[in-house]
Structure 1
Amino acid sequence: MNEYDRADAAFYDHVHRGLRDDVQFYVEEARKAGSPVLELGCGTGRVMIPVAEAGIPIVGLDRAPAMLAIARQKVAKLSAETQRRIEIIEGDMRSFTLGRRFDLITIPFRAFLHLLTSEDQRQALGCIREHLSDDGRLIFNVFDPRLDIIAAHFGSLGTAVKKQSEFVHPDTGHRVLVWDSRQYDPGRQMLESYFIFEELDDEGKVIAKTYSPLILRYVYRYEMQYLLELCGYRVEALYGDFQRGPFRYGGEQIWVARRAAEKP
């Protein structure tokens, strides 16, 4: 699995500040559950905190201490009532033991793709199933691989670097440019990305660079469905967007799966 260090974590919220649709979706699903929710891969609390602010108790689990440190800083600024609804735990989604079960477990923003082997995926789904209540739901989203994009970025890591975005450094006030190079390995179903953060001074000169690698293992629709069924889940819905529209090739795979009574 990937590990975010302090530099990656510090920039994470700025890089992903445009994400909104998924937050409302997960808040709505948490309201339906109406009981404590477990979020795996909670990171800096981008989804976890809005769920708590909506009045739902939530447990956030992540294996990256640097990300959790930022989450705790953000939680400390919330109202006392909201803080009481949040529990943060450092742990690995493949092997955690909480001693309780949940009606809803979520894995937002493609965090499932950080599981880089079939064994990792099965271990995580097995551990999640043990923490779901009878007929409890697992909801998560991953991207649906597009063959044209895979072909365009085959073996291109380091050769095609593209500016992704820019933001203002939270500490120095300087501009930070975000560059991205990526490649797909269709044989291994791996997406390797390499992010470069360039901090500029007032004259536009680069005064600091931060490098951040990221590896994801993407999954295809029926591969994911079979994996869920194999690990003791019953697929209830597959959406193509966060407005719960039908699945469409090349968009999102948003899975809603219930804990089956028995594993096959």
Structure 2
Amino acid sequence: MTTPTDPLVPPDRPRPGRKLGPIADNVSSTHRSWLMPMRDTYLASGLTLNALSDRIRFAKSKLSELLRGVGLYPRWEVVFLIAAELGMPNWPLYRLWRQAAFEAQRSGEWVERCTDRTTILTAADTAPPMNHRAFRELTEGDYLLYAQVFLDDEERDSAVSDTFDILWLSWNDALTSTDTRRYAWTALRDTVMARTLHREGRPELGPAAFDTLALRSLADPAEDVDQIPELVQLFTVISHLPGRQFDVMVLRRLCGFTPEAVSALVGASLATVRSDERHATRFVRDVLDTPPSTEGAAP
């Protein structure tokens, strides 16, 4: 990773000029996945839009639009110039930029035409930091198990791969956070949930019921069929849990992790994991044990 040039304005001092606006609401999850680290790196650099505009020879107004996700999807050469100035690794950035370009309905021809082939070949030789690679080796298999609950095989692999690209872009932030494991888990969860079907604002766990059922080894196949409605109901109740309790139940009940493994994976204490599981289990039991409403029924 290259080191950005010295900022013109120290990061702890206010920037002159108008404050950078928020990311537009209609920005896709993949576009947001590379845009947010770029914005964070820009804000941490202490550079002003004027200074960055002068350095990369790109209009200030267009820079502001790019950093807010406003207007047309940006061309790679501009994104590359900004990344180079900010010292960001361009290979994971390029992969996320390319995927988001297709989601923005850009054609393969457009992607190739606006890409500087020389910079891509240079980027292809770039390797992530050694501790990032080690972290990926330790966690990738478990991340895939979690993502499998919500996504098909192709989407699962893509979500986990994108997660590690996102972490690569913000690896310094991950290392200086309170807990790198918790930081990384948040990145994974956000990426997976952005691609998961939702119903009434809650993640859809219906397909997981059938996947789980297929892995069970009950002696009577007819018993499997009889359990489908119960499993679907169970997963529907789990989807109502708060985020942390929801993750604990998914990891414990669907992925088969021990409490100790959940603690290590999500960066929470073992006591917190056990407490979350107790509260979640109590909630699920209370809901499932509640008889259906008889309001309006005939006496």
TM-score (norm 2): 0.24
More helix by share: 2
More strand by share: 1
Q: Bigger relative contact order, structure 1 or 2, given CA contacts below 8 A and separation 6+?
A: 1
Larger radius of gyration: 2
